[in-house]
Copies of this chain bind each other. A is one copy, B any other.
Amino acid sequence: MTLEATIAVARGEKPADLLLRNAQLVNVLSGEIHPADIAVYNGTVVGFGEYQAGQVVDLEGRFVCPGFMDAHVHLESSMVQPAEFARAVVPLGTTAVICDPHEIANVLGLEGVQYILDASEGLPLHVYVMVPSCVPATHMETAGAELTAADIAKLMGRDRVLGLAEMMNFPGVLYRVPAVLEKLRAAGNRPIDGHAPGLTGLDLNAYVAAGIQSDHECTTLEEAREKLRRGMHILIREGTTARNLHALLPLVTPANARLCHFCTDDRHPDTLLDKDQGHINDIVRKAIAWGLDPVTAIQMASINTAEYLRLRGIGAVAPGYRADLLVLDDLKTVQVAQVYAAGRLVAEQGRFLASRSDLLPVPIQPSVHLDLSAIDFTIAAGEGPARVIGVIPEQVVTRELRVEPTTRDDRVVADPERDLLKIAVVERHHRTGNVGLGLVAGVGLKRGAIASSVAHDSHNLVVIGASDDEMRAAVAAILEMGGGQVVVAGGEVQAACPLPIAGLMSDQPLETVAAQVEALTKAARALGCTLPDPLMTMSFLALAVIPSLKLTDRGLVDVGRFDFVPLFGE
C-alpha cells in the first residue's frame, strides 16, 4: 500500500509527516536554487507546495540540499566501526558513502565484506559497497584471504552491493590475465571502479574499453582530462594524505560535471574530527571557495554519484527521492544546521541524534593468529652493502638505499646511531610463521619499537625497532590486544591503540581513537622518531604495489621489477 499512500499524501489528501517551509532549495536536477516548501512522507520527498504535516519546520529562507555522498571511501581508514564513522560524518552532512572494504577483505575475505554490510545495517548513514577486486593486492605476500571471481559474483546483487571496486591491477587487465578478466565479468552489467594512476594513451584506452568506468587517482589536470574524454567518471579525491581537489577543479565545466564527483578515499580520525576539515562538507566548501558554482559542487557531491552508481531515488530533493537532505545556513561555509536521513532528523548543529540502538556493535572473529615463540628477527650478515628502505616523510613511496649494515657476531643488527633500524613483516593470518626482514632508514627511533597490524594491503604485522627484543615486545603487545598499533620501550608499552576489529578498526569512539593515535605519535617522538605520522608511514612500507623498495612477510620487493630481491647482492 506504500504507493497508494504516497500518492494520497502527495495529492494533499492526507497529511505529510514533515513539511520544511520557506526553504531555498538547491535543486540538483533543474540546476538552480528556488524557493520551496518540501513535504516528506514515509522517508520520501512527496512534493513541493502547500501541505498539512505532522511536523512543520519554518526554515526562514535557509538552504536545503541533498545529503552528501562520498563516491569512494575505505571506511577502515577511519579506524572505527561503521556506526562510529556515521556518528562522525552524518553531522557533517554525509548521508551516503560508497565504500570499498578492501582492507578488511584482505584480512577476513567475504566475512569482512559481510561485516561491513552487517555493521552498517540500519544506520542513518547509508553505506553502499563496491566489492573489492584485488584481494590480495599482489602474489608476493600472504593476505588473510583471497576474493576470487566466484566470490565476487556471490556478492553481486546483494542489497547495497553496487558493483566492483577499484581495479588496481591494471597490468592484469592490459595483459588479459584470465582471473582478472573473470572478475570484470563477475560484475555483470554493474559499475566497475578504476584505479590507474598515470595510465595514458593506448593502455588507458584498453583499460576503459575493458569496461572500467571511473578513476580516483588523477593528480594532474592533463591526466584527468585524458581520462574524462574517454568517458571515465573522475572521482576527485581529497583524503587525509592524497589531496587532488585544487589541481583537478579546473577540469569541471557545466557540460561535463555529471561525470565529476567527490571522494575521500582515506580520511583518518584526526581529519574527520578537525573542525576546519571534516568529510565531504570540507570538499564542497573548498570547491566553492576556489570558484566552483555551488549548485555544481553540490551536484558533484550528490546526484552525480547516485546516477553513476545507478542509485535510483537518491541524491536529489524531488518527489520520489529518499528524503536525505541537509539544511545549510549558507553556501559559503557550508555549515550544516540539520541533517535528515530518510526523512528523520539525525543531526542538528553538529550533534548526532541517532539512538543507541542505531549503533549496536556487530560481533567479529579475532584476526591475529601467530606463534610468538616461533618468530626470529635474526638477519645473517652478507657481502657488501644491503638494500635499505629509505622512508620519505608523509609519502607512501620509498627510496631504495644501499648501505653497509652494522653487524655483530655475523648478524645484522639495528644501529640507531646510524638511523638504521630493523623492520619485520610478520604474517598474522594463517600462522605460516613467515617473517620478512629488512632494514629501514629515515625513521629516527633511538630506542624501543613501533608496530602495527594495519599494514597495507595484506595487513600483516609490521614492526620497526632498535633491537630484536623491543620488536618482540611490540609484536607481543599487538597479539595481546588482538590487533592494533603500539609504541614500546624497555619492553613496556608506552602508547597503544587497540584495533580488535580485523586488526584495523577500534571498538572505541572516534575521539578516543584519535587521542590514542596522537599518543602513539608522541610516544614515538619521545623515542627519537622524526616522522610526523610514524604509524601511518609504517603502514605503507608493506604495500608492494607502490615504489620503490617494500617489505612483505615473504621478503623484500623491488616494486619496479615487481619481484623479490635479496637484502644483499644484485
Contact = CB atoms under 8 A, between A and B. Distances in A.
A11 interface: yes
Contact of A11 (B7, B203, B231): B203
Nearest to A256: B31
A176 interface: yes
A153 B79 CA distance: 46
Contacts of A569: none
Interface string A1-29: 00110111011100000000000000101
Contacts of A340: none
A202 B47 CA distance: 7
Given A30-B225, A208-B320, A256-B30, A11 B174 contact: yes
Nearest to A189: B312
Contacts of A208: 10, 47, 318-320
Q: Is the interface of A mostly helix, strand, loop or mixed?
A: mixed
B176 A10 contact: no
Contact of A29 (B185, B189, B210, B259): B259
A45 B208 CA distance: 10
A46 interface: yes
Interface string A220-239: 00000100111100000000
A48 interface: yes
Interface in A282-313: 293, 295-296, 299, 307, 310, 312
A246 interface: no
A295 to B, nearest CB: 6
Contacts of A225: 30
A12 B204 CA distance: 11
A209 interface: yes
Given A4-B176, A49-B201, A228-B29, A206 B11 contact: yes
B318 A202 contact: no
A181 interface: yes
- Copies of this chain, how many? 2
Contact of A49 (B8, B48, B205, B209): B205
A184 interface: yes
A59 to B, nearest CB: 17
A443 interface: no
A37 B181 CA distance: 27
Given A46-B205, A202-B49, A231-B319, A255 B7 contact: no
Interface centre among A46, A205, A319 (most CB of B within 10 A): A205
A319 B10 CA distance: 43
11 contacts: A3-B211, A10-B209, A27-B229, A29-B256, A31-B255, A32-B256, A44-B209, A48-B205, A210-B320, A255-B257, A310-B310
B228 A10 contact: no
A34 interface: yes
Interface residues of A, number: 63
A173 interface: yes
A318 to B, nearest CB: 4
A321 B231 CA distance: 9
A176 B258 contact: no
A454 B313 CA distance: 39
Contacts of A34: 229
Interface centre among A39, A50, A51, A256 (most CB of B within 10 A): A256
A482 B184 CA distance: 52
A90 to B, nearest CB: 24
A319 B205 contact: yes
B229 A48 contact: yes
Nearest to A175: B7
Contacts of A228: 29-30
B7 A210 contact: yes
B211 A320 contact: yes
Nearest to A36: B229
